Structure 1
């Protein structure tokens, strides 16, 4: 009986994740073929559908829809399928020895039509032969023949419980080859060790996907870096005739270029770093021991991968730092443009103030003329009026009245205009 409150909807999913992808116990000898397919983040349904065809061919139960892990005994072989973020792995097991390693790999028992139509693109393919301890020891000549004359690496794994040989090359059948000899591993330990070796081979290839992008991006980053330096130099050169607007346009193009580079590479560089960390972790879990005269797997991988990984890290840092530099220079240039605009605005305001002063003076002049003109008309009317009064026989001197009325009328008009102007200013205020 449950006495808990409301549970998080992802509790069961997260609980199952810790038990997902269990190791397969291996009874030595074992022949194994492993394929890693790059399918992207949206290829799960197509892969499950393709797996169902194989299950139908061997009349075994189908995988459930939405699953990301499937193990089944097909009869001639056992299959383990795992779905990861952007790739999937197919591992085929057959519990039997072979008269000679890699002569008849287990992949021969898988229908060829089904293999040709597998979703995605092959990123890695490995044949692994796990021999029993009572198998006759291989001479250096035999080992060289198994790896087609290539130089190979060798080491003890699992604290000396097994031996491993591989040349880390793609052979004519497009598979890599790994030969392991069991010394005293249990079936469970053998399954864990084989799984780690296969993951190392898969993840080291996936980690290197970022290296071509780093080499491709390097000249583009260099171009942006040099162009940014030129723009910064132009900004500091007072004799430079190029306007800030033109510099800002050039800087915007550089910002768009570096953002395009980052958008193309950032995800892959992040994945490269994560995959390389998994490779290093799996190598530590192998607990390697040196065989006299031969390089170990870990030192060979580290020697070959470390420069590429550092190149990816350096390129990622360069494009990140360059993006920040472009932003800083753009901010400085925008600030300078804003200061220049402020100066221009101040000049405009000064010009407007001068125009306002001129308009005020002109207005005062017009007001004076208006007083004179209106006074002239009013005095004229008054003159006509006094003449009319004189014509009625009233003793009035029109010229005297007109002369005395001039200053009175002019002052009254000026006072009236001043009060009207004051009232309008007060209303606007």
Structure 2
């Protein structure tokens, strides 16, 4: 049977829905690593009831860790996996998730800290924090973890119908609670560290999906951890503020002295302002990284707080509202100290420029006085030279006339009719004129040579 005219033969590939694509272009060497970064650390789905514990550990002695290196916690995770008979993390990784049956463990390495999160599918409605997920880990292994704990929290995830009240679990003076995700869940905390060194959060869910519950748990964890990381700048800001007070007082006194200072005081003022500049540069170098990190952590806390989409409960403040009133002022203080460091450095730079201008003006005045003194000295030398030249003409003329007299006497003694005194007297004027012209010719020759040398140097 003949095909209709509007139908065409199709190739096997086209019949299967396949088509030929052009060869891919050359990719950037980091393209796929960057693309996969957003999928590298997915949030874990959390079912209710669930007990979650989280620890954030700074490097030894609070030093920043190298994020490109697995670090000592990587080795600790490997020892735990070997102890419990489970496969450990692959070499060189910076995050790990392991299912150990009775609990699940997640490790992540960040720029300044490492964190461990433990998940356990069990939580008592009567006593949500009596048996936290962290208790599933060997106590001796926990005690051997390297680094310093900067944050720790327990999150109890329960169905909302299992708890009629939550006020008995927290400090009533600091209790905060709010609905999350437009009423899908309720979060409660007092932001206080309990006797075990951990902050407690209660999350009550209402027909919430495991994915949404996992996101809310992760947001609560990140709010607490990044809040503590941001607060590392607060004690440094207080110490820096005290140093800046002393620097600013000394700088104000120095600027006031500039109005009445004498030229002899300027070297001491220069030394003082140089010392102040070095002090502020030291402060800026010491605090710059920490204040910048606090600024970044604060932004993360604000972003995670906005992502909670919390709503008020009658008579209670929300967690984000509590942080705005307590945590926000601390960050504002750190930011103000950072701005003071920059402002003090600018004030010192202006005072230094003003002092340098004074020194330059005084130096210019001294140079002008020196040039004037050199001009006066040159005029005196010229007058002295002219006097010496006059005396030289007289002296040379005197000796030359004496020679003429001797010659005339010799000629008279030889029988020549010459009067020595008359010859000597008549030779005075011509000899004086000749000597003066000769000295003048020598001086002009020297001047021409000096002039041509100066012109050559100028060229």
Alignment partner of 2:314 out of 292, 295, 298: 292
Aligned to 1:38: 58
Alignment partner of 1:231 out of 254, 260, 269: 254
Alignment partner of 2:386 out of 355, 358, 364: 364
d(CA) in 2 for partners of 1:389, 1:62: 131
Quick check: 1:113 aligned with 2:140?
A: yes
Q: How far off its partner does 1:6 sit? A: 4.8
Quick check: 1:70 aligned with 2:96?
A: yes
d(CA) in 1 for partners of 2:84, 2:449: 97
Q: How far off its partner does 1:54 sit? A: 2.3
* Contact 2:171/2:190 (<8 A) preserved: no
Aligned to 1:172: 195
Aligned to 1:139: 165
Once the two structures are overlaid, the 10-residue window that deviates more, 243-252 or 201-210, is 243-252
Aligned length: 424
Superposed CA RMSD:
2.2
* Contact 2:57/2:150 (<8 A) preserved: yes
Quick check: 1:301 aligned with 2:289?
A: no
Aligned to 2:351: 329
Q: 1:78-128 CA distances to partner (integer Å, 9 max, x unpaired)?
A: 111122211121111112233631122221222333322323211001111
Q: Secondary structure at the match of 1:164?
A: strand
Change (3 A) 1:394 1:218: same
- Return 5+ residue gaps in structure 1 as ranges: none
d(CA) in 2 for partners of 1:366, 1:62: 104
d(CA) in 1 for partners of 2:127, 2:86: 31
* Contact 2:178/2:188 (<8 A) preserved: yes
Aligned to 2:299: 277
Alignment partner of 2:415 out of 389, 393, 398: 393
* Contact 1:34/1:89 (<8 A) preserved: yes
* Contact 1:156/1:162 (<8 A) preserved: yes
Q: 1:124-173 CA distances to partner (integer Å, 9 max, x unpaired)?
A: 01111112355x22435xx42x3377742222112222222212111111
Q: How far off its partner does 1:26 sit? A: 1.7
* Contact 1:128/1:180 (<8 A) preserved: yes
Alignment partner of 1:218 out of 227, 233, 241: 241
Q: 1:227-257 CA distances to partner (integer Å, 9 max, x unpaired)?
A: 222222222237x797222222222222222
Q: Secondary structure at the match of 1:363?
A: helix
Quick check: 1:61 aligned with 2:84?
A: no
* Contact 1:163/1:180 (<8 A) preserved: yes
* Contact 2:48/2:205 (<8 A) preserved: yes
| 1:86-165 superposed matches below 5 A | 86-98=112-124, 100-133=127-160, 136-140=162-166, 143-144=167-168, 146-147=169-170, 151-165=174-188
Change (3 A) 1:241 1:400: closer
Q: Secondary structure at the match of 1:165?
A: strand
d(CA) in 2 for partners of 1:95, 1:17: 28
Q: How far off its partner does 1:2 sit? A: 7.6
When normalised by structure 1's length, the TM-score is 0.92
Q: How far off its partner does 1:60 sit? A: 3.1
* Contact 1:58/1:75 (<8 A) preserved: no
Change (3 A) 1:148 1:301: closer
Aligned to 2:455: none
Change (3 A) 1:5 1:409: farther
* Contact 1:133/1:184 (<8 A) preserved: no
When normalised by structure 2's length, the TM-score is 0.86
Q: How far off its partner does 1:189 sit? A: 1.2
Aligned to 1:14: 34
Aligned to 2:212: 189
Q: How far off its partner does 1:279 sit? A: 0.9
Q: How far off its partner does 1:308 sit? A: 1.1
d(CA) in 2 for partners of 1:427, 1:243: 46
Quick check: 1:204 aligned with 2:204?
A: no
